[in-house]
Structure 1
Amino acid sequence: MDHRIDRRSLLRLAGIGTLGLTFPSLLSACGAGPSGSGVSNAGKDLAPWPTHVPFPGPAPDAPGDDSGVQPLFLRYPDQVVRSVHDPVGDGSDVTVVVVSYGAPPKPVGDNRYWQAVNAALGVNLKVVVVPDPEYGQKMATLMASGGDLPDMIMFTNLALPHAAEFVQARCADLSEFVGGDAVKEFPNLANLPTYAWKGMGRIGGKLHGIPLERPMPANSLFVNRTAMDAADIPKDWTTEQYLDAMKQLTGDRKWGVGWFKTLFGGLGGITYHAGSLGAPNTWSEGGGAFTSTLTTPQFEQALEVMRKLVEAGTHYPDSLTVSSTDMQSHFHNGTVASMNDGFGSVGLATLKKINGRFALDLGRPYGPQATPWQGPGVFGYVTFKKAESARIKLLLRIVDYLSAPFGTEEYELANYGVEGEHFTKDADGITTTGLYGQENNSLLPTKYLGTAPAVLHLPGYPDVAKSVHEWQKASLPRSVRNPATGLRSTTEASKGAQLNQIIGDGIAAITFGRKPPSAWKDVVAQWRQAGGDRVADELAAEHAANR
C-alpha cells in the first residue's frame, strides 16, 4: 500500500503543532457544527487540569527547562525501575482503533512484541490499525455509525468534522478520574505535563481524553550539517546568510531546499520562515482580541524569502508535487541539504535512514527578532467508550502503563520490546536487533495509545543528541506558543478546510511567481470574509472562558 499522502504533509506544515495557519488547536479543529455550543467551553463549569506530579527519574547529562528544552541523556540508565506495581488488566479483550504510518503489524500469534505487551497489560489487545491515507475516511465512517464502539479510539491532530460532538456524545467523560488530584491514582498520567493536557483542551468544560505528549518544538529545519560545514556555513545566520547558504548548496543535481506540498496546496516550511522573521504563532492575543499571523508584515516577509529561494532555483524542482515521504528520502540520501519536518522526526528511524552519510542537525532561526513557533505539545489523544467505572479505570491503567517514563521497565518494554529478542544492553546502552525492525511500537502503534513525556536520547548517536540539545537551548527561549491552543471555534470546525485552501493556494501562487506579492492582501481579505474574522471572534470568547 502506498502511504505517500499529502494529509501527512499537512500535519507536518507545523510539525506536531498546529495543523495549519487557520487551525487554532487540536480539539477546535475537531469542534462543533452550527449547533456546537454544547462542546464550547464558554459559560461551562471547567474540569480542573490534572495535577502534575513529576516522576523523579534518572539524572540527565544536561537538564531541560521550562522553555521546552528537553533533558539530555547521552547514555541509557544503568538501572531501570518499576513504575507500575499492581496488576493492570483482567484478562479481557480490549479493542482499539489507532492510526499507523507504516506497514501492518505481524499477527499476534507471530508477534513476540505484541504477545509481551499483552502479557504485561493482562489483556488481549485487539488492535485495528488504520493506515494514515485511510484515516480520515475510516474515522468519518466510525463516527457516523450507530454501532458499538471499540474500547479506545485514538484521534490524531488531523481535523475531523464534528469529532468533538462525537466525543462528547459517545465517549467517556474522564474528568472525575483524572481531573485535579484524581489523576494521582495513575502516576504515569500524573507525570504528563500540564501543557499536554491544555494542548488537548476540554470539550464542554470536560476532559474526554488522554493526551499523547510531544516536545515543545514544532516545525523544524532539518539540515545536512556535513554539507554545511564543508561550505563554511555558520550555525547562527542572518536572513541573507541563509539565502546565500541555500545557493551554495545547490548544483550538480542537488538542492539546498527540500519542500513538499501540503494537503491544501501550501508548502511545508512556511512556519519556519514566519517564526524566523518574528511572526506570531498562528494567532496573537491582546486586549481580549485575536489577530491572525496572516495579517502581519512578518508573514509577508516570510513569503518574500520563499519567493527569493524559488527565483534563485535553490528549491527541489518538484516541490509542488513531491510527497513528504519522497522528500524525506531525498534528504536522507543527500539530494537536498535541508528539509522542514516535524520535530518528532528527530529519532532513530531518521538516523538509520541517513545511515551515516552525513551529520544530522537542526537549523537555527535566521531573523534578528525570531519567534520560533511551538507546537501544541500533543500529537493526538485517546478516548474511551462509555462504560462502568471499573472498566474505565482498567482502560486508564493500560494507558498509564504505556505512558511510563524514561528509566522504567515499562518504558523499556513499550519502546524497545523484550530484552534478548528485540534489543540487547551493554555499557553503551540499547542496541536493537533485526527482530525489532519487524516488531515495534510503530508497526503495532501502542505509542499512540499512551506515551511518555519525551526526553532527548538517541542510542548510538550521542553527537546528534548534543547538537539537538544545543539547538533547543539556542531556539526555544525565544519560542512562542499559539494562544489558541486548546481552544475551539465553531466556524473553523465547519469551514477549516475551505479557509486553509484559500491560504495554501495563496502561499503557493506567490512563492512560485504565479501572483505578485501584492496579491497577498487579497488572499487575506478573502480568508477573512470566508470566516477568518468569525474564527478570531470565537477564539476570543473561548479564551475569556478558559482563563
Structure 2
Amino acid sequence: MDNTISRRGLLRMAGAGALGLAAAPLLSACGSGGGGGASGGVSNAGKQLVPWPAYVPFAGPKPDAPGDAPGVQPLYLKYPETLTQSVTDTVGDGSKVTALVVTFGPPPAPLAQNRYWQAINKALNVDLQITVVPDPEYGQKMTTLMASGSDLPDIIMFTNLALPHSLEFIQAQCADLSDHLAGDAVKQYPNLANIPTYAWKGMGRIGGRIYGVPLERPTPANSLFVNRTLMDEAGIPKNWTTEQYLDAMRELSGDRKWGLGWFKTLFSGLGGITYHAGSLGAPNTWSVVDGRFVSTITTPQFEQALDVMRKLVEARSVYPDSLTVSSTDMQSHFYNGTVASIQDGFGSLSVTNLAKIGDRFELDMGYPYGPQATPWQSAGLFGYVTFKKAAPERIKLLLRICDYLSAPFGTKEYELANYGVEGVHFTKDEDGIKTTDLFETESNLSLPTRYIGAAPAVLYLPGHPDTAKAVHEWQKASLPGSVGNPANGLRSATQVSKGAQMNQILGDGIAAIAFGRKPLSAWQDIVKQWRQAGGDQWAEELAKEYAASQ
C-alpha cells in the first residue's frame, strides 16, 4: 500500500535533532590540510578567521507563503509541477568513495539489490560505499576511529556528540576546506552556497578555519505539539497566558488521560525545560553581558519555568512515568490520545507521524505562553560532514558529492536523493509524493545519504495542507521573538571534556524539582554544583572565543 510522505521533514524525525534539545555547540570537525594548520590549536581566539561561505539562495519554485530571516520556512501546499536541474556537470570520476554515517533505521539492502543505491551511484558517477552505524553505537565507533587514526573513510559524518579530543583529531587527520568554501569560493558549489549562514555558524570554525559542511535543520528547537481537536472542544485558545496554560493542562487530565507528556531523554540537560524557559523569557542557554557569558540557569525566568513544571506535576497534568518512558512510547501515547500534548523536537513534524495520528485529531503547535516569550532556536544543524586529507582534486570531488546531495527542494537532484526513482520508490498524484512499500527498505531512510548532504528544509506536508498552514502560522507568530544560543559554534575544552557530566547535573536537578523530590529552593545548590563542576570555566572559555569571533 502507498503511504504519503513529507519532504525532508520525514527524514529528520530520528536522532538527536528529533529530540529537539536546544543544541549545544557542536565540537567536532576535521582539520589541517593547508592554511590554518594544527600548529595553531583548535581555539579561534587570537586566530585570523576566514569568512563564512557566501550565502546565495536558490531561486526555486514560488512557495504558497514565503519564509523569512527568523527561520520561518517557505510553505508549499503542492509539489512543484516542474523541477529544475541544479547540477549540470559530471560529479564523480568513477572511483570508489567511502563514507561513515549514523543511522536511526534498519540497515540498507545490499547494493546489488538496492535500486535506490544504484541510482545514487549512477547520478554521482562514483562507487559510493556507505558504512552505516546505529545511533547507540556511533559514539563508540567514532572514539575507536579517532584512536586508530588510520583507514579513515573519505567522508566522516559528525553528529552533535561531544567527543573528547575530536578537534585535535580533526586538525591532524582531515582536510581544511577553507580555500574551497570560505567567502565567494563556495559559489563553485551552488547548492552548498544555498545553505544559510546560521548553519555554518552553528558548525563553527576550528583554529579560525572551516573544516566541514553543515547538515541544515530548521531553527525551531524543542516544541510543544498539541491535539488541536481536543483543545478546541475544551475551548482552549491558541494564545494563552501562563495561568491559562496551567488550567488547560489540568482540564485535559483525568480518567487516565494527561495534558502533557515528557520522556526520559528530555532530562539530560536543558531539553525538558526548553519550551517553558522560552515561554517565560529566559535566555537560550547563555546570554552575553558586557562580554561575559551568563548561563540561563542563573536567571529568575529559568526558576519561573521550573516552577511551572513543578505545578504541572503537582496538578497531575503530566504523564506519571515521564522520567522512564522512551520518546517512541511517548509519541505513541500522544498519537492515541493518552496525552493531549507532547514536548518533542520540531523534526517530529512529518507525514509519517501524521499518518500515525490518522483521523483521530488535528495536529498543531503550542504557542509560547509568557508575556515576553523568547522561544529558543536550535543551532540550525543536525551535524556536519568532513573529509579525510587528500589531494585538492579529490577534495573537490567530495565537495561535488555533498553539493549534489544538498540540492534544494524543487530540483531533480532533491527528488532523487530524498524520494528515489519515480515509479519504483514513489508516485505522484494531486496530493504530491506518495511512497511505495519499497521505499521502506530502499531510500535515504535506510541508506542515509541525507547525512552526507542536506538541503535547507521547507514546510511541505503532502496530504495535510491544514496542518502545514497551521505550523506556518505558528512559525510566523513565534519565531520573530525567538533567540539563538550565542555559544553556537564556539569552542570550549571544558564542554568537550565535562559536558556530559554537567548536562546530567542539570537534567537530574530539573527532574528532582519538577517531580517534587526537591523544593524549588534547592535549585541554587544545583547551580552551584554545576558551576564548580566546570560551568564557570566553560563561561570563561566561551567569552574568549566570542570576543575573537566579533
Q: How far apart, in 2, do the equivalents of 1:30 and 1:112 lie?
A: 32
Structure 1 residue 508 corresponds to structure 2 residue 519: no
Match of 1:522 in 2: 525
1:53-132 → structure 2 map (5 Å cutoff): 53-132=56-135
Q: How far apart, in 2, do the equivalents of 1:148 and 1:464 lie?
A: 47
Q: How far apart, in 1, do the equivalents of 2:188 and 2:427 lie?
A: 33
Match of 2:339 in 1: 336
- The worse-fitting range, judged by mean Cα deviation, of 70-79 and 266-275 is 266-275
Contact 1:104 1:443 in 2 (8 A): yes
Q: How far apart, in 1, do the equivalents of 2:520 and 2:16 lie?
A: 23
Q: How far apart, in 1, do the equivalents of 2:212 and 2:160 lie?
A: 13
Note closer, same or farther for the CA distance 1:264–1:222 as it changes in structure 2 (3 Å cut).
closer
Match of 1:269 in 2: 272
Contact 1:29 1:488 in 2 (8 A): no
Match of 2:215 in 1: 212
Structure 1 residue 45 corresponds to structure 2 residue 48: yes
Structure 1 residue 292 corresponds to structure 2 residue 289: no
Match of 1:26 in 2: 26
Structure 1 residue 535 corresponds to structure 2 residue 533: no
Deviation at 1:268, TM superposition (A): 4.2
Contact 2:280 2:371 in 1 (8 A): yes
Note closer, same or farther for the CA distance 1:38–1:325 as it changes in structure 2 (3 Å cut).
same
Structure 1 residue 421 corresponds to structure 2 residue 454: no
Match of 1:198 in 2: 201
- TM-score (norm: length of structure 2): 0.93
Deviation at 1:178, TM superposition (A): 0.7
Paired residue secondary structure (2:313): helix
Deviation at 1:428, TM superposition (A): 3.3
State the AA in 1 paired with 2:531.
R
Deviation at 1:269, TM superposition (A): 2.9
Q: How far apart, in 2, do the equivalents of 1:534 and 1:115 lie?
A: 50
Note closer, same or farther for the CA distance 1:279–1:497 as it changes in structure 2 (3 Å cut).
same
Deviation at 1:267, TM superposition (A): 7.5
Structure 1 stretches of 4+ moved >3 Å? 8-15, 28-31, 263-268
Match of 1:225 in 2: 228
Match of 1:139 in 2: 142
Paired residue secondary structure (1:327): helix
Note closer, same or farther for the CA distance 1:518–1:327 as it changes in structure 2 (3 Å cut).
same
1:352-367 → structure 2 map (5 Å cutoff): 352-367=355-370
> Kindly, what percent of the aligned residue pairs are identical?
73
Paired residue secondary structure (1:94): strand
Match of 2:477 in 1: 474
Paired residue secondary structure (1:172): coil
Match of 2:329 in 1: 326
Paired residue secondary structure (1:126): strand
The C-alpha deviation readout for 1:141-165, integer Å capped at 9, x for no partner, is 1111132100111111122222122
- The worse-fitting range, judged by mean Cα deviation, of 498-507 and 290-299 is 498-507
Deviation at 1:541, TM superposition (A): 0.6
Match of 2:414 among 386, 411, 414: 411
Contact 2:214 2:384 in 1 (8 A): yes
Aligned residues: 531
- TM-score (norm: length of structure 1): 0.94
Q: What stretches of structure 1 of length at least 5 have no aligned partner?
A: 1-7
Contact 1:51 1:181 in 2 (8 A): yes
Note closer, same or farther for the CA distance 1:267–1:527 as it changes in structure 2 (3 Å cut).
closer
State the AA in 1 paired with 2:459.
L
1:423-502 → structure 2 map (5 Å cutoff): 423-502=426-505
Note closer, same or farther for the CA distance 1:253–1:411 as it changes in structure 2 (3 Å cut).
same
Note closer, same or farther for the CA distance 1:27–1:172 as it changes in structure 2 (3 Å cut).
same
Deviation at 1:113, TM superposition (A): 1.0
Note closer, same or farther for the CA distance 1:322–1:9 as it changes in structure 2 (3 Å cut).
farther
Match of 1:301 in 2: 304
Deviation at 1:321, TM superposition (A): 0.8
Paired residue secondary structure (1:425): strand
Q: How far apart, in 2, do the equivalents of 1:182 and 1:40 lie?
A: 24
Note closer, same or farther for the CA distance 1:12–1:344 as it changes in structure 2 (3 Å cut).
closer
Deviation at 1:438, TM superposition (A): 2.5
Deviation at 1:526, TM superposition (A): 1.0
Note closer, same or farther for the CA distance 1:28–1:546 as it changes in structure 2 (3 Å cut).
farther
